[in-house]
Amino acid sequence: MSKVYKYGNNVDTDVIIPARYLNTSDDKELASHCMEDIDKDFAKTVKAGDVIVAGSNFGCGSSREHAPIAIKASGISCVIAETFARIFFRNAINIGLPILECPEAVRGTQAGDELDIDLISGTIHNKTNGKTFQAEPFPPFMRRIIDAGGLIGAISKE
């Protein structure tokens, strides 16, 4: 079960991890500043397995991979958005951060709700309001990348 942190449209990479912290590539350090410019309590309250739910164009902005790394290192198990910026989408898959596009789930979920997510089927069940949503599941080759913790892990297994 995952607690929801909900944000709006156009959450850019500089909000996810402010550029002033990009002098490090340490995952834990990046996680300690994740979302702080939009949600000052995020890093203090997020727990392993929690979920980010957001509107359209999540992860717009720069192409650096620090944003999905900071999210994954903070303990977020999945990001659900109406749409993702394409470079964030690629970076998330490449570092093994599960993401799902599902506008209905975004509209049907509030901050603090609890979700059960089945990445294999793409099913999102909101335990708080009883609604179930269907996202497009990843094809098998992308699931292998996610399951391996990212592209490097997947390549090293082959």
Q: How many CB atoms lie within 10 A of CB 134?
A: 13
This prediction's pTM? 0.95
- 10 Å CB burial of residue 58 (0-12, 13-18, 19+) is buried
Give me the pLDDT at residue 2, please.
Answer: 85
| CA 20 to chain CA mean position, Å | 21
Give pLDDT, residue 15: 95
Phi, psi dihedral angles at 83 (to 5 degrees): -150, 160
Read off the pLDDT of residues 34-44 as tens digits, 9 standing for 90 and up.
Answer: 999 999 999 99
pLDDT in tens, 47-82: 999 999 999 999 999 888 999 999 999 999 999 999
- Those residues of the chain that have pLDDT short of 70 are 1
pLDDT of residue 1: 66
Question: What is the pLDDT at residue 153?
Answer: 87
Q: Reduce the secondary structure of 80-106 to three states and give it as a string.
A: EECCECHHHHHHHHHHCCCEEECHHHH
Tell which residue, 102, 1, 110, has the closest CA to residue 47.
1
Closest alpha carbon to 81 in 4, 17, 26: 4
